[in-house]
Amino acid sequence: MTENKELVLLEDISAIIAGSHEVEKTLDRITELITSRMGVDVCTIYAHEGDELILKATRGLRPEAVGQVSMSIEEGLTGATFRSGSPLNVQDADEHPEFKFFPGIGEDALGSYLGIPLIHRGKTIGVLSVQTKIHRTFSPDEVRMMVAAAGQLSGIIEAVIHTSDKQPGGALRRDSFLRGTPASGGCGRGQLLVMTDEMDLDALGECPCESMEEALEHFEDALVKAEEEVKAIHDHVSSALGKEEGAIFHAHLMMLRDEHLREKTRTLIKNGAGPVAAVVRVAHEYIDAFLAIEDPYLRERASDVRDIAHRIVSHLRPEGGDSETNFDAPVIVVAVDLTPSQASQIIQPNLKGVVLLKGGVNSHTSILCRSAGIPAIAGAGGEADETLTGSEGIIDGNTGILYIDPSPHIVEEYSRLEDDLRELDEELRAHLDEEVKTLDNEPVKLQGNAALLSDVPRIVEFGAAGIGLYRTEFPFLIRTDLPDEDTQYEIYSRAVKGMGGLPTTFRTLDIGGDKPLPYMPITHEENPQLGWRSIRISFSMEELFRVQVRALLRASEHGPIRIMFPMVTDPGELKKARQIVLEERGTTGIPDSREIPIGAMMEVPSAVVLIDQLAKHADFFSIGSNDLAQYVLAVDRGNAIIGHLYDTMHPAVMRTINTVAEASKASGTQLGICGELSGKPLGVAALIALGLRDFSATPSALMKIRRLLQCVDSKELAALKPAILSAGSPEEVRNIVREALKKGEVPEMLWR
């Protein structure tokens, strides 16, 4: 097997799914393709429904067995594959102790078996298997090929299976679901509203002018009106969502005031171009420049330029200005893309979701949706079909799926989920006043992660003990120029004041890699996740680093703060960063009596190896489980082909975290965790087992984690530690923890 064959198989599977029209034929074609490419005699797809595995498709077994053959997850080689969550490669299938024979389906003469679990978002949803008549062991290349195929299939097969449920004749409309990238979590239900206005600048009519002077006058007048509108939007968004979100439109103001942009437009008008044509031509120059950049964040800025140009042109036309959009009933908006201005207009109580066919998760629209708590999906593909307007829809921003005219089964499932979440919310709020400690009275610190000032009130509302991670890069990312010391000081001060005396832990700039600054030229890197990013940029641009440190130190006058540094790899880096803080502390006049702890993120394997040396220079450590898992597993979590290999509950990650926990305890260094693992109930339970007692989670996860901690016995969980550390797969780790929670007093919604 070659890498090329593997990629061709993945591409062909994608092509089959993209052309899906009927569920049964789609699954049948996939099994046919795999059978042919793998050179096997049988391929099957089983789906987990209820307590059984149901045969959904086969090539090589009797077709009439589809839908008729089922087994318990405790039965057969397929059940064993499902339970283990790992590939099962068997040379002599009929001699294996887990083998179960199903008479009459055509597997009498089969010899070898290879089963691959279908895992979607950490949950096993079925099994993909192949078999041969000859007795042989499948090669590592064959196993890898099947794992890659299963990784690509898992999420899509889940959607195909669910959407197909009980539809007449198994018909699957091409548009019965759309799948994109999750951009903002949550679920919503409403009528679809397809917005086809993509702000096509080339389709805008010209403004009639009798002279060049009149054209220039119209242009200057349009600039003034556009600026007034953007100011109004800036003030509205700043008030409704937060000052940092409002900064998106401050960036628009800066573009509008860009004298270079204005003068280029004036020159074109003076040379005979109409004002609309001049604005559009200059806008296209900027748009093309942004689109030519490989970085996804900077490419998204093309949408901002289009937004500004459209706003100027709208005031060059007779009707002028924005038209209001009001929703009288729950809606899910589907659009090719939305500019930030359009997004700010549609964010209202009846907006239940946003689906962007082209937009990305880094777009300002996606950012606004996350801030407003609106479920959103980006990059769903296809074209805006106006005939879908009025259709019923369910959006799942957690999985990136939009169900169109969903089956009764899907509606029932999501209605049940809404009821469960509502009941859970009521139960969680009922326990907010209770102390955060386990059933055996073990105290646990629970803090919140913040990226925006709007996160701070929610962290306080949910009873957190402080901010365990304040991501300072967001104000840098949404501006077109570098925020100065006073601007940073104001943001940090508002966060500290908002916490009312509770500590705030600020992480210094974690930029580069997948988070470049739009105004900072970064040379193309083959692997930016291993390149010029985080503390490395701070050291390379030391004055930028010192400005941020001074702003943070000044903010300490309003309440307790801690400062930690990202991607520290060795003691020398931590000593250098600490020395810079000490030097700037002297320049800002911070009294010696004011304690400002200094810490390091534990997210690089070298830091784990050298933790005993780092502990000599750190007041605390904080585990960044996202990057730690990425580096320990050597998986770029943004790579679609291998992304399924990324799992923060992988046994290797568990062992690494355990190493950090034991070393921190030995050195007496305070240890917390602030990655996404600390916002997942199963993850937190596993971390309690490993000895961690300090967690920082996103605001949306705080109540769940708070209640989980109140329902578990730390000693009982600690007994799971040997099993967790000896587990062979992420699914095995989850099963160990899940079974323990099932037996306890933990609400089902917290471990399901």
- Structure tokens that stand for 726 in this block: 């000896």
Token pair 């500590």: residue: 503
Q: Decide the pairing of beta strands 123-132 and 42-49.
A: antiparallel
DSSP string covering 365-427: HHHHHHHHT--EEE---S---GGGTT-EEEEETTTTEEEES--HHHHHHHHHHHHHHHHHHHH
96: annotated active-site residue? no
User: C-alpha dihedral over 367, 371, 377, 383, to 10 degrees?
Assistant: -60
CB atoms within 10 A of CB 227: 16
CA 614, 688, 723, 676 torsion-angle sign: negative
Q: Choosing from 364, 617, 644, 650, which is the catalytic residue?
A: 364
Residue 530 is classified by DSSP as G
Q: Name 446's bridge partners.
A: 695
Cα–Cα distance, 299 to 163 (Å, whole number): 34
Q: Quickly list H helices, 257-390.
A: 259-270, 275-291, 296-299, 301-314, 340-346, 364-372
- Structure tokens that stand for 516 in this block: 């470049």
Amino acid in the structure at residue 582: L
Crossing angle between the packed helical segments 212-240 and 275-291, to the nearest 10 degrees: 50
Q: What is the largest CA-CA distance in the chain?
A: 91
- 648, 676 Cβ separation under 8 angstroms: yes
Size of the chain in residues: 752
- Structure tokens that stand for 639 in this block: 């790579």
Q: Choosing from 43, 209, 369, 674, which is the catalytic residue?
A: 674
711: annotated active-site residue? no
Element (H, E) at 334: strand 331-335
- Structure tokens that stand for 420 in this block: 């469960």
Cβ neighbours of residue 129 under 8 Å, at least 6 residues apart?
A: 42, 43, 44, 46, 77, 78, 81, 113, 114, 115, 116
CA distances from 495 to 395, 488, 701 (A): 32, 11, 20
Amino acid in the structure at residue 131: Q
Active site residues: 364, 674
